[in-house]
Amino acid sequence: MHRICVFAGANPGKRESYAAAARALGAEIARRGHGLVYGGASRGLMGVCADAALAGGAEVVGVLPRALTTREIAHQGLTELRIVGSLHERKAVMSALSDAVVALPGGCGTLDELFEAITWSQLGLHEKPIGLFDVEGYYAPLLGVLEQMTAEGFVHPRLQLVRATSAGQLLDQLMSAPSAAHGSGPAPRP
């Protein structure tokens, strides 16, 4: 596993534990010699994770739609900042550049990115392991909804999300996930 795509909020959230988790994840990605692919912002949990990975010497690639370059305040200290035309292109490029997906706490944009990765996995468009960094039970309600959707026959039971409450545990589980052993499947086209 070379690069990990991290979806995260462009805002810090109300709890310091969210920023601490983002910092720990970025640092752990760097410590293990992985690269980080993320949304390209300098603020919020996105910026915290990127800064920690950079401080640890990791390659950090940001992918930001042109329309959000000022709004999300593009991070200027990255290894590489790719400016793309749309949110759809952003997700496709992030997927193409990564070998695994992790969601930190975030808002609707984070969920949009996460659910697109889940959908692509369900459709067999990739075999990347997908993980949830479940800080203080943030993703517990979502996991309940996914269980209900699976029980009602709308989500294929083969969906396997890795869930962990620490950065080290999360990366360990991603590395041992069944799909990680097979490598990444083809990336969706932009």
User: For 32-133, where are the alpha helices, taking DSSP H only?
Assistant: 44-55, 87-96, 108-122
Q: What is the mean pLDDT of residues 28-48?
A: 97
- pTM assigned to the model: 0.91
CA nearest neighbour of 24 among 45, 41, 1, 3: 45
pLDDT of the residue at 70: 73
Domain ranges in the chain are 3-182
pLDDT digits (tens, 9 = 90+) for 114-137: 999 999 998 989 999 999 999 999
> What fold characterizes domain 3-182?
Rossmann fold (3.40.50)
Contact 45, 106 (CB under 8 A): yes
The mean pLDDT value of the chain amounts to: 91
